Every structure is written in structure tokens, then in C-alpha cells.
Amino acid sequence: MRYLSKKILARSALSTCIAIALSACVNTEVPSLADTDVPQAWTVDTNQATPQWPSVAWWQNFSDPELSRLIEQVSQENLDLANNRRNLESAQITLREAGFDLLPSGSVTIGTGASYNESRVDGNSTSNSPNVPLELGASLSYGNVISRPAIYTKAVADYESRAAQLADVALTTLGTSASTYFQLLLIRDKITAAEQNVANAQSISDIANARVEAGVAVPIEALQQQIALQREMATLSSLKQSELSALASLALLSGNGIQGFNIEGETLADVNVPAIAPGIPSELLLRRPDLVQAEAALRSATASVDIVRNEYFPDIALTSNFSAGSTSLTELLSSPDTFLNFNASVLQTLLDNGQRARNVERSELTLESSLADYRKTVLNAFNEIEVLLSNMQVQNELVDVALQNLSAAEESFRIAQVRYEEGVSDFQTVLTTQNTLFNSRNSYLDTKLSQLNTTVNLYQALGGGWEKEAP
């Protein structure tokens, strides 16, 4: 009867503690964005019939096999991305630990030890044979009952924030690789253009020297052209050094040394500029890593408010212990002497000089700041995409104009060179058209690079095909 009473009392205490815990749990609602923070549609018309988000392999849209090979190599061999994968695995382990913390912590022990019994009969000392008892014990404990759900919610939010941060780093790394590759192709294009400039300058120099020797031109024309020739030769040497630096950067991004590393691509002309039409703006909240990270930080701050508010409620702890003992393993498994103990404690802080109130106030201020940071990140993201979409249209127009100007400059230089050689045009006209051609070549190449980089930036701004995993 006594054992039964204790058992009923234990169950009653457990039920009371669970009821208090469930009724006391605080569940603060996560603040939401304002209705005006997320646009209903993009203001820039992309002229695409079927808007869609970028694919995970967005770099393949440039139709450049060398770029695709490079990005795949960076994805597999980049040292920072390898660290990212390890950091994500570590974060997953931390989250699993937080999940286990939702369960009671338990332990099982087994032990043995010698025991001697001694008694005295009629003044004589007697003792029995030593026995070696076996003991088996188990314990369960479950403390901080009320706050554990909020603590786990915060751990999930922190993990999702970490995963989004690592995805953002990976997206930036791949974007940097693509931009560096385009920079290398630009340099090689400029090397080709510089070689053409040197050849053109050398041709004009030969003509100028011949005219001076023939006495039909003054020596200053030959000297001026010699200066222009030397300038173009110096530019060519500088570009070759820049090519080496770009190769070194790509080698490091792909986890290699520059020795034996090479890129076969030679020109930007073979790179396709894909048309991009993003999907519904509201979907960006789940597709852009920095937005997911900011939203997870907001949920973490909300959970922190719940945790400190729960400090107003009692600290409930449940513990139970079970032990079994016998002098032999057979008896331990069949009919051991068993003991069961259950404890439940409820501790309430009555006076803390306002510490809990100050903790709640600080956590609520942090929550307000997290909401402001989230809104700022969201507004910046949508503004950035609108600007990039507009830039894409402008860049497309500038490339067309630059190409037309280059064709006109090449034809003007050809005509001026022929007329100068025939003595119809003066040297200053040749020098002017020559400089215009050199500048037009560089302007076209710079504009094409800017167009490609804007495309890469737009892919990154749209999340690069990444999407938050479903919980």
C-alpha cells in the first residue's frame, strides 16, 4: 500500500509539472514585413514572355564550355568552399544536439564490488564468505522544462541562418570566379587589340619615315608616330603582366598553383549574354541567401524573447532513478532487488531586483532591431535587382553602340591611312583617326565586360538558383 501511494504521488507530481509547463510556455509571434516592403511586380520590363528564376547552374547560360569547366572545378576544389562544407556539417551536428536536448538526458551504469559481513556470537567473531554484488542503475533527468521548446526553436533559426550565410559565400565565390574569367578574356582581347594597334602604329611609322626621307614631310611627324608606337608597345607589355595576374587569381579560386594552370578561352566575342527575366518578387524571400539569413535572425531574436519571458515562470525539473542489485548475474536478470525513485521540483524566483524585466526589455529591443535589419535587407535586395535590370537594358544598348562605333573607326582609319600614303591627307588626320580606333576598340571591350559582369551580378542578386530547404 505504501509503495502504491508513492507511485500515485509520483504520477500526480509528473502530471502537475507537465500541465504547468504547457500552460506557462510563451509563444511570441514572429514580426512580419510591411505590405509595401515586397513589390507585386518588377517595374523594369524584361521583354521576356516566360519569367523564371535562374537555375542552380546559371553559368551554363553563357554558352561557354571553358567557363562551365572552370566553375565546376571551383565548386569542387576551392579551399574556402571546402571549409564551408565542413562548417555546415558542424552546424548540422550542433542542431542535432539541440534536438537531443528536447529529450530527457539519461544514463545507464553497471558495477560490481566485494562485500564482507561480520557478526559476533557469544563473544566469538564469525564472518561469512565474501560475496561480489552486481548493481545496475539507470537515471533520467529533464530540467528547464518550460524553456526547452523556445531554445530549440532558436537553435533551428540559428542553423538556418548559418546555412544561408554559407550559401551566400558560395554564391559570391562562384560569381567572383565568373567575373575573373571574363576579366581574363578581356585582357586577352585587349592584348590582341594592342598587337593590332602596334601593327597599325608601326605601319604609319614606316610611312612617316619614308615621307621624311623623301623630303615631303617634316621629321616631327616621324617623331610623333614613334612616340605613339612606343606607347602602344608599353601597353602591350602591361597587358601581358595583367594576364598573368588574372590567371593566378583563377588558379587560387580553383585550388591550384599557377604552375601548369591555364585557361583556353581567348575572347569575349564567343561568350553569350543570356536574357534574364526573374519570377514573382515575393519568391525572392526564399531564394536569396542573405534574405533567408536575415529572416532566420529575426526568428532567433523572437525565440530569445520567449526564453527570457519564461524566466517569470517556475523552473521545473524532473528526475528519476532506478537501481537493481544482486550477488550474481543470473539473479540480477531474473529477480534482483530493485529500487525506484522519482523527484519533481518547482523553483520560483520571487525577487531579483528587476533583472528579469530588464532582460525582457533588452530582448524586445533586439527583436525590434532584427526586424529593422530584415526590412532593410529586403528593401536593399529589391532595389538592387531593379537597378540591375535597368542596367542590363542600358548595357545592351551601349554594346550595340560601341560595336557600331568600332566599325566606323576601323573604316575611318583605313581611309585615312590610304589617303596619307597617297599624300592626299595630312599626318594629323591619320593620328586622330588612329587614336579614335584605339579608343573605340578598348571602349567596346570594356562595355562588353561591363555587360557580362552586370549579368553575373544579376544572377547573384536573384540568388543564383539557390532556394531555402523545406523544414
Strand (E) or helix (H) holding 326: strand 315-326
The region that residue 115 occupies, defined by phi over 0 for left and psi between -120 and 50 for alpha, beta otherwise, is beta
- Count the residues in the chain: 471
Local structure of residue 49 (DSSP, 8 states): S
pLDDT at 115: 53
pLDDT at 145: 76
Rounded distance between C-alpha atoms, residue 271 and residue 188, angstroms: 14
CA angle 95, 99, 105 (to 5 degrees): 130
DSSP string of 53-82, one letter each residue? PPPTTGGGGG--HHHHHHHHHHHHH-HHHH
pLDDT at 7: 44
Bridge partners (DSSP) listed for residue 118? 127
Strand ranges of the sheet holding 105-112, from the earlier edge strand across to the other edge? 105-112, 134-142, 315-326, 337-347
pLDDT at 341: 76
Rounded distance between C-alpha atoms, residue 374 and residue 380, angstroms: 10
**Grid cell listed for 322:** 532506478
**Grid cell listed for 36:** 509595401
**In sequence order, which residues have a C-beta less than 8 Å from that of residue 126 and are 6 or more positions away?**
118, 119, 120
Domain ranges of the chain: 1-26+104-117+125-143+314-347, 31-103+146-312+359-461
- CATH 2.20.200 is right for the domain spanning 1-26+104-117+125-143+314-347: yes
15 within 8 A of 245, measured Cβ to Cβ: no
**Cα torsion angle, 395, 397, 401, 407, sign:** positive
Local structure of residue 43 (DSSP, 8 states): S
Which amino acid appears at position 343 of this protein? N
pLDDT at 429: 85
433 within 8 A of 413, measured Cβ to Cβ: yes
Rounded distance between C-alpha atoms, residue 157 and residue 292, angstroms: 10
Bridge partners (DSSP) listed for residue 318? 142, 344
Helices (H), 127-218: 148-213
- For the chain (length 471 residues), average pLDDT per consecutive 10? 41 48 66 91 77 90 94 93 90 84 76 58 54 69 80 90 92 95 94 87 86 83 88 92 94 92 89 89 94 94 90 79 66 64 75 84 92 96 95 92 93 88 80 86 91 95 89 57
Look at strands 124-127 and 134-142 and give their pairing: unpaired
pLDDT at 335: 65
Q: What is the CA radius of gyration of the chain?
A: 38
Rounded distance between C-alpha atoms, residue 407 and residue 309, angstroms: 72
- CATH 3.40.50.300 is right for the domain spanning 31-103+146-312+359-461: no
**In sequence order, which residues have a C-beta less than 8 Å from that of residue 224 and are 6 or more positions away?**
427, 431
DSSP, collapsed to helix, strand or coil, labels residue 33 as coil
Rounded distance between C-alpha atoms, residue 95 and residue 90, angstroms: 9
pLDDT at 6: 42
DSSP, collapsed to helix, strand or coil, labels residue 172 as helix
**Grid cell listed for 205:** 611609322
Q: Tell me if domain 1-26+104-117+125-143+314-347 and domain 31-103+146-312+359-461 are identical in fold.
A: no
Q: Which of 175, 178, 185, 224 is nearest to 201 (CA)?
A: 224
H helix and E strand count, the chain: 9, 6
